[in-house]
Amino acid sequence: MQKYVHLHTDNVELVISVTKKLKKQTDNLEKFGWITVSTGELNKQDINWDCLPFFEQCDFEDFKKECKEELREKGFKTKKIFKEIKQLLKEANKLNIL
């Protein structure tokens, strides 16, 4: 059985794989998870990204290069989403699950 922890802000959800005891994964599942950006509206498509280590390490310029176009197409503000992602990653690290 696979277990995940979900952390949310207004528009961003961070999903992280954890052990049965809700601890940080190791080996091939270490830092396994994804980020979903959504308005919550039914007729709008969500944005989904994996590769959590990229988001942990990137600065705003790297994030902008990789994600700005897709965010703009869906009507999201790049800086706001970047801050929300960083906030969730910080919380996951505080909880020692990432």
CA angle 53, 56, 61 (to 5 degrees): 110
Burial pattern 47-84, b for ≥16 Cβ within 10 A else e, equals beeeebeebeebeeeebeeebbeebeebebebeebbeb
The domains of the chain are located at 3-94
Per-residue pLDDT of the chain (98 residues; tens, 9 = 90+): 789 999 999 999 999 999 888 888 888 777 889 999 998 877 778 999 999 999 999 999 999 999 999 999 999 999 999 999 999 999 999 999 98
In angstroms, the CA 95 to CA 22 distance is: 10
In angstroms, the CA 66 to CA 47 distance is: 13
Model confidence pTM above 0.85 = yes
